[in-house]
Amino acid sequence: MSLRLFDTATRELRDFTPREAGKVGMYICGLTTQGAPHIGHIRFAVAFDVLRRWLETGHGYDVTLVRNVTDIDDKVLRKAAEAGEPWFALTYRNERLTAQALDALGVEPATYEPRATGHVPDMVTLMETLVEKGHAYAAPDGSGDVYFDVRSWPEYGSLTGQSLADMASADDADPRGKRDPRDFALWKGHKADEPESASWPTPFGAGRPGWHLECSAMARRWLGDEFDIHGGGIDLRFPHHENEQAQSRAAGLGFARYWLHNAWVTVKGQKMGKSLGNALEVRHLLESTRPIVLRYYLTAAHYRSMIEYHPGSLEEAAAAVERIEGFLERASRRGTLEPMTTVALPAAFVASMDDDLGVSGALAVVHDTVRAGNSALDEDDDEAALEAAATVVAMTDVLGVNPLAAHWGSGSSREDAAAELALDALVRAQLEARQAARQGRDFDRADEIRDALTAVGIEITDTPSGAEWSLARPARGDVDAVTDTTALTTAAPGAEKAQG
């Protein structure tokens, strides 16, 4: 089965065939850096990170990913003025917060991450082409505004399936100077109450770029006149992506061949947003939630499905992550996991991912494999268990939720591996002492050993083939409970002599 993706433009699943064999060019609309990112903002990056990983790992494509930064627009200027600070200071601070959030959640860096303010010459070139072709015009009032003439492009509305007659104006530009209220701004002339630093000279007058023009210019600069995939949130389909496509194709560019859109994160049925007072900033959530858990939560639903956030959402994700981690920890004590490059992904996993990135089905395969691996461990079938563990590592790596990945700090260095072996030896000695106490019917001693292990954050599970151990997953702020090793030391047989 070949990879099939739902193309918003055609409103159907299409076989994915790249423009150039072996290579994929992908552009996704990044954030407007007017504020710190919440999980609704970040979902798009996680969704397209999964797509990128699957294109690379599942199909061997060389992916060039461009994710832009909109660092100038009306909201940026307004919020900077309200805060009494330069607009570029505000936007840079929030750009850094966004980068930190993406890195914390394991989103791989973009190949290129251009800022809008760094591409004004490209925008001017595109505007001049549109004016020359009769698809754009400068406002006659000398304001410096430049508009796209929607009536000059018969295909306007094709991306979202709308007719021009049914559209209302969705442009926030001053309507003065427009030939039609539905025309949208390519360039916004400088206004007296705006800072001089937010203005660039052009043949049409000083000003700043319109939102839609930015992305067309940046996509062309880094991916060429035509590229494979354009992605973004579902709320960008109109007017942003509709306008991008219209101005690019009117200029003679092929632009995007496939359009993909991810759905929102909602709270009580409403799109998450600061204006609704229901935003959950990534940096604040990570004070109480492990990054891999938040990544799993945002990954687990199909990218075109809404995610409804509720108080128990992250607890459910944490439980799923811990099931995977617990199995991999058990398996790692039976032998060395094979490198994932040598592991064939299960056919059911591949089929789900090739079906428009069916992550729900793919995760079902992951958890089925975890259950099978745990059963193999219970039956002392180490070979089958290690094979299952290597398969789980390979699948979760595709989804960006591999607990053993260096990014999450698990097994990321030789010192970590040595510490794991040392801890395993110490705990195994305690388990053997506990078993000996039980066999000698000294149950008080057996309970004492188990309680001592529990006190330092080690969970014991009795199985038909013997006791197994795993590390408890404390909430942030509870780390003191698992870093005090006094209980482990004093529980050891002969500890009194050692301390003397």
Any idea where the domains of the chain sit in the sequence?
A: 4-262, 282-408, 414-499
What pLDDT was estimated at residue 495? 34
Q: What is the pLDDT of residue 421?
A: 60
pLDDT tier, 500 (very low <50, low <70, confident <90, very high otherwise): very low
- Residue 37 pLDDT more than 60? yes
Class of the CATH domain delimited by 4-262: alpha beta
Q: Which residues of 402-425 are buried (b: 16+ CB within 10 A; e: fewer)?
A: bbbbebbebbeeeeeeeebeeeee
The class that CATH gives domain 282-408 is mainly alpha
Give the model confidence (pLDDT) of 463-476 as tens digits: 655 787 777 654 43
Confidence of residue 483 (pLDDT cuts 50, 70, 90): very low
What share of the chain in percent tops pLDDT 90? 73
Question: Residue 307 has which token pair?
Answer: 């995610």
**Residues constituting the chain:** 500
Is a pLDDT exceeding 80 seen at residue 85? yes
Q: Which of 124-133, 209-218, 333-342, 395-404 has the lowest mean pLDDT?
A: 333-342
Phi and psi at 293, nearest 5°, equal: -70, -45
pLDDT digits (tens, 9 = 90+) for 39-54: 988 999 999 999 999 9
Question: Angle, nearest 10°, between helix axes 291-300 and 313-332?
Answer: 110
**Residue 213: pLDDT above 60?**
yes
Q: How far is CA 302 from CA 8, 363, 380, 450, in A?
A: 15, 11, 36, 42
> Beta-carbon neighbour count of residue 233 at 10 Å?
22
Average pLDDT over every residue of 380-394? 95
Can you give the pLDDT at residue 122?
98
pLDDT of residue 50: 98
Cα separation, 40 vs 282, whole angstroms: 9
- In this predicted structure, the answer to whether residue 170 has a pLDDT above a threshold of 90 is no
* Per-residue model confidence as pLDDT tens digits over 322-359: 999 999 999 998 887 765 557 899 999 999 999 999 99
CA dihedral 249, 250, 251, 252 (to 10 degrees): 60
- Does residue 438 register a pLDDT over 70? yes
Q: How confident is the model at residue 107 (pLDDT cuts 50, 70, 90)?
A: very high
Distance, in Å, from the CA atom of 169 to the CA atom of 250, rounded to the nearest integer, reads 20
226: number of CA atoms within 13 Å, CB side? 9
Q: In the prediction, which pLDDT does 489 show?
A: 36
Lowest mean pLDDT among 166-180, 192-206, 427-441, 466-480: 466-480
What pLDDT shows up at residue 168?
73
Alpha helices in 54-86 (DSSP H): 74-83
What pLDDT does residue 419 have? 64
Q: Which of 441, 440, 438, 439 is nearest to 449 (CA)?
A: 438
Of 194-198, 314-318, 426-430, the range with the lowest mean pLDDT is 426-430
Better-scored residue on pLDDT, 227 or 481 = 227
3-state SS string for 366-385:
HHHHHHHHHHHHHCCCHHHH
CA separation (Å) from 461 to 31, 155, 229, 274? 46, 64, 48, 45
- Residue (of 341, 354, 290) closest to 319 by Cα position: 290
- pTM, full prediction: 0.82
State whether the Cα torsion 308-312-317-320 is positive or negative: negative
At 457 the pLDDT is: 85
pLDDT band at 481 (very low <50, low <70, confident <90, very high): very low
* Residues 140-154: tens digit of each pLDDT: 988 999 999 999 999
- Average pLDDT for the chain: 88
| pLDDT over 90 (residue 417) | no
pLDDT in the model for residue 173: 56
Which H or E run includes 459?
strand 458-463
